[in-house]
Amino acid sequence: MKIKFASTYGFCFGVKRSMELAEEEAGADVAVCTYGPLIHNDQVICDLHAKGIEKMDNIDDILSSYQRVIIRSHGISYEEYQRFVESDLDVIDATCPFVKKIHHHVQTCHKQGQPVIIIGDAQHKEVIGINGWCENQGYIIDREEQIDDLPDLDHPCVVAQTTFSLARFHSIIAALNKRFDPLQVHCTICAATEKRQNACIELAKTVDALLVIGGKHSSNTKKLVEIGGLYCPVVFHIETAQELPFQDLSKYHTIGITAGASTPDWITKEVLKTLNQEGTEQTMQEMMEEMEKEMQKIYTRAIVTGTILSVSEEGVLVNIGYKSDAMIPNNELSSKKDVPLTEQFNVGDEIEAVVVNMNDGEGNVVLSTRRLAQKAAWKKVKDIQDADQAVMVTIDEVNKGGLVAYIEGLRAYMPASQLSVSYVKDLEQYLKLEIEAKIIELNPRKNRIILSHKVIEEVILKAKADAFWETLEKEQKIVGKVKKIMPFGVFVELGGVDGLIHISDLSWGKIKHPKEVLSVGDDVQTIVLDFNRETNRISLGYKQLIPHPWDNIEAKYVVGEVYEGKVARFTDFGAFIELTQGVDGLVHISQIAYERINKVSDVLEISQMVNVKVLSVDSENHRISLSIKETLEKPERPERPERPASSSDSKPKRKRAPKRKEEKFESYTSGDDSEITIGDLFKDLDLDK
């Protein structure tokens, strides 16, 4: 057998760039994931998972559980992209530059009012993403027959999936030109794709059989299979070396090998090594001898790995590289009893089992996964627990107490209390979702596995909190989300740490409850007033970022001008009028009405809207003097009735009594110069008169 390689194969520029970006994040000290598969190669996805980079398909799960996200090489829609950009996540855009260019073309044309035609597979992630950049209003076609179904379009813009067949693209464009004039065409098929397809054609013309290596879901790999089949009668599509069809390949002298753009070199080298081709030819006899050696290893109780050939309700037929195929009966499968086998096993998948019978009477080897799974699964689960590793599990059942998932075929339970650090009311939303968990309890004897997603959240929150505390400073402005509202204040989630806005720091005006200002779920900008890491307390301010209502108050409320206000409260001497939140003015009781009033409440009501005139403004002491009566029309005084005239023109003036002179008594003596006492002075007075 002679092996020939295509002149160009394997990773393209865009895929290589995305892999390099992902490799740089391996071992990062933050939670990293990719949105969807980074590239269409299951082996690469598994390798990234082993390096700590998870594949996540739900944006909400990414936003809640991860700190860094890698956008897949095929790109995403504009709406999805904006959700990531506007979040707190670190976004690493690994979108292929050629795909990004298509996004730009589509978005520009759509904004200019041009209809967009996308040539490609409508189900492919790249095409779905492209359509998202024109608000999902693009017309997607992949065959000439679909052109007649298009409506009449004015000057449409045409782009193509990067991995679309170049020949088919030109054929469709020719048909579109007959239908639409003018037609704006952007040939967006990747140059590397075109080069790889041409190399595949040249190789296919010179070999007896063509071997195409790449993911079964990879569009560019499937295009190579399609193109190769036009020039070579025999084409094999495999993902890994384990799928090599040795018996079929042995029929051909010259084998050509090419690989898709998402196929890493190590898989291609593994295929080459398996074929045992290192620049020399290998005889059929040597290949048969190697196959015989492999067959000699098949014996009862041997553990073997095979490829599923077919699936039915009776069981699974497996190719184990032996002279005859092996059968795993339904009762020997470690499967979920309430799910059809066709939904649990796929043709082409690898499966490991133990040999229980070398011949079932029809020449088939009988295998069992059930007998192998019990011991092997518990060992794997124990290894996972010992290594304190997280696992991705799919929730298969939901009950009142928690969630049920399967790890290595073993039933595992996650109590509701272990689902999240916060209370989750609706458990049904997790059904069929894939979530990350850790094993917190393991007991093979009791067949018990207890999972927890909460411990993962706690680690993430602690890491966020530690990073947060390291950068926290007083007077630092920070954005958070309102988590809980209490009568005394508002708790704000700041990324693993909660801060409190006291009710007194919510508003410059007086409020009865924090709900008057904020609501749960609000994104709010705050300022750090004080913090204490030892007590895990952060005091936040909200009103401090709002201009003080008394700033420049003289310009806001000019003396002599009339404004509208609301009666806020009464006092014995008047009423306070709220001009705006945080600014009250006083209307003295004498300034309420022109007529005399005894009580303010006789004239005004709380929350009543009134017009007031500014009498004075004292910005330093935060005082404003107001008047209501001066906004009212002054009542006219009734004229006094005239009095009848008297005999004299004027009333005689009343004479004042003359002032009594003070008499000074220097001395009082009698005629004979004898001394006179006080009693002598009054004895002759008739006091009764």
Cα–Cα dist 525/247, whole Å: 69
For the chain, what's the residue count? 689
Cα–Cα dist 54/45, whole Å: 8
Q: Would you list the DSSP string of 59-86?
A: HHHHHHH-SEEEE-TT---HHHHHHHHT
Cα–Cα dist 188/99, whole Å: 8
Helix (H, G, I), strand (E, B) or coil at 23: helix
Cα distances from 258 to residues 48, 161, 228, 267, 442, in angstroms, run 24, 21, 10, 12, 47
Half-sphere exposure of 456 (CA within 13 A, CB side): 20
Q: Would you list the DSSP string of 227-293?
A: HHHHH-S-EEEESSGGG--HHHHTT-SEEEEEE-TT--HHHHHHHHHHHT-SSS---HHHHHHHHHH
Residue position matching structure tokens 């393209």: 12
Active site residue 516: no
Three-state secondary structure along 414-450?
Answer: EEHHHCCCCCCCCHHHHCCCEEEEEEEEEECCCCEEE
Helix (H, G, I), strand (E, B) or coil at 508: coil
Cα–Cα dist 413/398, whole Å: 10
Closest among 572, 584, 575, 553 to 629, alpha carbons compared: 575
Helix (H, G, I), strand (E, B) or coil at 549: coil
Catalytic residue among 25, 54, 126, 436: 126
Residues 6+ away with beta carbon under 8 Å from 128: 77, 122
Q: Where are the alpha helices (DSSP H) in 52-185?
A: 59-65, 78-85, 97-111, 125-131, 166-179
Q: Is the N-terminal amide bond of 182 cis, ω within 30° of 0?
A: yes
Cα–Cα dist 386/17, whole Å: 35
Angle between helices 166-179 and 191-204 (to 10 degrees): 120
Burial class from Cβ neighbours inside 10 Å (0-12, 13-18, 19+) for residue 665 reads exposed
Q: Quick one: DSSP state of residue 222?
A: H
Half-sphere exposure of 228 (CA within 13 A, CB side): 30
Residues β-bridged to residue 398: 403
Six-digit token string for 48: 């990234």
Q: Which residues are catalytic, by number?
A: 126
